[in-house]
Amino acid sequence: MATTTTQTHPLFTFPLSAITDFTGLASYCENIADALPETHDTTLKMALFGRLNTCLTVLQPTLLDPVPEHLVESLTVDTLPVTSPQLAPDCTALCRYAMALVQTLMQQGLPPETEQQLTGLLSELINYFAAEMKAPRWLRTEQGVVNIETAVSWQGCVLP
Protein backbone atom coordinates (compact mmCIF):
# COMPACT_ATOMS: atom_id res chain seq x y z
CA MET A 1 0.00 0.00 0.00
CA ALA A 2 1.43 3.37 -1.06
CA THR A 3 1.81 6.13 1.47
CA THR A 4 1.06 9.64 0.32
CA THR A 5 3.39 12.17 1.86
CA THR A 6 2.27 15.71 2.41
CA GLN A 7 4.98 18.29 1.97
CA THR A 8 4.67 21.52 3.86
CA HIS A 9 5.62 24.63 1.91
CA PRO A 10 8.55 26.33 3.65
CA LEU A 11 6.63 29.61 3.89
CA PHE A 12 4.09 27.98 6.19
CA THR A 13 6.68 26.99 8.78
CA PHE A 14 7.44 30.54 9.98
CA PRO A 15 5.92 31.02 13.44
CA LEU A 16 3.51 33.97 13.57
CA SER A 17 2.85 35.65 16.88
CA ALA A 18 2.57 39.09 18.42
CA ILE A 19 6.02 38.65 19.98
CA THR A 20 7.77 38.15 16.62
CA ASP A 21 9.98 41.14 15.76
CA PHE A 22 8.51 43.46 13.17
CA THR A 23 11.64 43.06 11.05
CA GLY A 24 11.09 39.30 10.94
CA LEU A 25 7.43 39.78 10.06
CA ALA A 26 8.35 42.28 7.33
CA SER A 27 10.88 39.85 5.85
CA TYR A 28 8.31 37.08 5.99
CA CYS A 29 5.76 39.26 4.15
CA GLU A 30 8.43 40.02 1.56
CA ASN A 31 9.17 36.31 1.09
CA ILE A 32 5.48 35.57 0.51
CA ALA A 33 5.15 38.51 -1.88
CA ASP A 34 8.16 37.22 -3.83
CA ALA A 35 6.68 33.70 -4.00
CA LEU A 36 3.20 34.75 -5.17
CA PRO A 37 4.05 35.63 -8.80
CA GLU A 38 5.81 32.26 -9.16
CA THR A 39 2.89 30.29 -7.71
CA HIS A 40 0.53 28.85 -10.29
CA ASP A 41 -1.35 26.38 -8.08
CA THR A 42 -4.59 28.13 -7.07
CA THR A 43 -4.87 26.35 -3.72
CA LEU A 44 -1.32 27.22 -2.77
CA LYS A 45 -1.78 30.81 -3.95
CA MET A 46 -4.92 31.20 -1.80
CA ALA A 47 -3.06 29.71 1.17
CA LEU A 48 -0.21 32.18 0.63
CA PHE A 49 -2.70 35.06 0.42
CA GLY A 50 -4.22 33.89 3.68
CA ARG A 51 -0.82 33.59 5.34
CA LEU A 52 0.15 37.07 4.11
CA ASN A 53 -3.11 38.46 5.47
CA THR A 54 -2.47 36.79 8.83
CA CYS A 55 1.07 38.17 8.97
CA LEU A 56 -0.13 41.69 8.14
CA THR A 57 -2.87 41.36 10.75
CA VAL A 58 -0.26 40.46 13.38
CA LEU A 59 2.02 43.28 12.21
CA GLN A 60 -0.57 46.07 11.94
CA PRO A 61 -1.17 46.84 15.63
CA THR A 62 2.58 47.21 16.24
CA LEU A 63 3.38 49.61 13.40
CA LEU A 64 3.49 52.71 15.58
CA ASP A 65 5.16 51.07 18.58
CA PRO A 66 8.67 52.19 19.55
CA VAL A 67 11.49 50.09 18.12
CA PRO A 68 12.43 47.41 20.69
CA GLU A 69 15.81 48.03 22.31
CA HIS A 70 17.26 44.76 21.02
CA LEU A 71 16.64 45.86 17.40
CA VAL A 72 18.14 49.34 17.65
CA GLU A 73 21.68 48.20 16.80
CA SER A 74 20.54 46.26 13.71
CA LEU A 75 18.73 49.38 12.45
CA THR A 76 21.62 51.76 13.06
CA VAL A 77 24.19 52.72 10.38
CA ASP A 78 27.39 54.76 10.39
CA THR A 79 26.73 56.49 7.06
CA LEU A 80 23.54 57.43 5.25
CA PRO A 81 22.43 54.79 2.75
CA VAL A 82 22.83 55.67 -0.92
CA THR A 83 19.20 54.74 -1.56
CA SER A 84 16.10 54.38 0.51
CA PRO A 85 13.09 52.12 -0.04
CA GLN A 86 10.53 53.58 -2.38
CA LEU A 87 7.74 52.42 -4.62
CA ALA A 88 8.83 53.36 -8.10
CA PRO A 89 6.89 51.44 -10.73
CA ASP A 90 7.05 52.84 -14.24
CA CYS A 91 3.99 54.47 -15.82
CA THR A 92 2.86 51.28 -17.58
CA ALA A 93 2.92 49.30 -14.32
CA LEU A 94 1.05 52.11 -12.51
CA CYS A 95 -1.60 52.06 -15.21
CA ARG A 96 -1.95 48.24 -15.01
CA TYR A 97 -2.22 48.39 -11.20
CA ALA A 98 -4.91 51.07 -11.41
CA MET A 99 -6.83 49.12 -14.06
CA ALA A 100 -6.72 45.95 -11.94
CA LEU A 101 -8.09 47.86 -8.94
CA VAL A 102 -10.86 49.46 -11.03
CA GLN A 103 -11.85 46.05 -12.44
CA THR A 104 -11.87 44.53 -8.94
CA LEU A 105 -14.01 47.37 -7.59
CA MET A 106 -16.42 47.15 -10.55
CA GLN A 107 -17.15 43.51 -9.70
CA GLN A 108 -18.71 44.63 -6.42
CA GLY A 109 -19.49 42.13 -3.72
CA LEU A 110 -16.52 43.23 -1.61
CA PRO A 111 -17.02 43.86 2.08
CA PRO A 112 -17.55 47.62 2.65
CA GLU A 113 -14.27 48.04 4.56
CA THR A 114 -12.30 46.29 1.81
CA GLU A 115 -14.02 48.37 -0.86
CA GLN A 116 -13.19 51.54 1.08
CA GLN A 117 -9.51 50.54 1.41
CA LEU A 118 -9.21 49.59 -2.27
CA THR A 119 -10.97 52.80 -3.33
CA GLY A 120 -8.51 54.79 -1.19
CA LEU A 121 -5.58 52.89 -2.71
CA LEU A 122 -6.96 53.50 -6.19
CA SER A 123 -7.33 57.21 -5.48
CA GLU A 124 -3.75 57.47 -4.16
CA LEU A 125 -2.45 55.44 -7.09
CA ILE A 126 -4.29 57.54 -9.69
CA ASN A 127 -3.11 60.79 -8.08
CA TYR A 128 0.48 59.53 -8.15
CA PHE A 129 0.06 58.24 -11.71
CA ALA A 130 -1.37 61.58 -12.90
CA ALA A 131 1.40 63.53 -11.16
CA GLU A 132 4.02 61.29 -12.80
CA MET A 133 2.41 61.72 -16.22
CA LYS A 134 2.21 65.52 -15.87
CA ALA A 135 5.60 66.01 -14.21
CA PRO A 136 8.15 68.18 -16.06
CA ARG A 137 10.71 66.18 -17.96
CA TRP A 138 13.12 68.86 -19.18
CA LEU A 139 14.91 71.83 -17.64
CA ARG A 140 16.07 75.00 -19.36
CA THR A 141 19.67 75.73 -18.38
CA GLU A 142 22.34 78.12 -19.61
CA GLN A 143 23.65 75.21 -21.68
CA GLY A 144 20.22 74.54 -23.24
CA VAL A 145 17.36 72.18 -22.52
CA VAL A 146 18.38 69.03 -20.64
CA ASN A 147 16.57 66.01 -19.26
CA ILE A 148 15.63 66.67 -15.61
CA GLU A 149 16.89 63.27 -14.42
CA THR A 150 20.25 63.96 -16.02
CA ALA A 151 20.38 67.48 -14.55
CA VAL A 152 19.47 66.31 -11.06
CA SER A 153 21.87 63.37 -11.04
CA TRP A 154 24.58 65.60 -12.53
CA GLN A 155 24.22 67.99 -9.57
CA GLY A 156 24.68 65.05 -7.21
CA CYS A 157 21.14 65.22 -5.88
CA VAL A 158 19.04 62.20 -5.04
CA LEU A 159 15.87 62.00 -7.09
CA PRO A 160 12.64 61.89 -5.11
Q: Report the C-alpha gap between 58 and 18 in whole angstroms.
A: 6
pLDDT at 71: 92
pLDDT at 5: 43
Q: Decide if 65 contacts 91 (C-beta within 8 A).
A: no
Q: Smallest Cα–Cα separation from 16: which of 47, 45, 56?
A: 56
**pLDDT truncated to tens, each residue of the chain (160 aa)?**
454 444 567 788 777 777 888 998 999 999 999 999 999 999 999 999 999 999 999 999 989 999 999 999 999 999 888 888 888 888 999 999 999 999 999 998 999 999 999 999 999 999 899 888 888 888 888 888 888 876 655 544 444 4
Single pTM value for the model: 0.71
pLDDT at 7: 53
Element (H, E) at 38: none
pLDDT at 134: 86
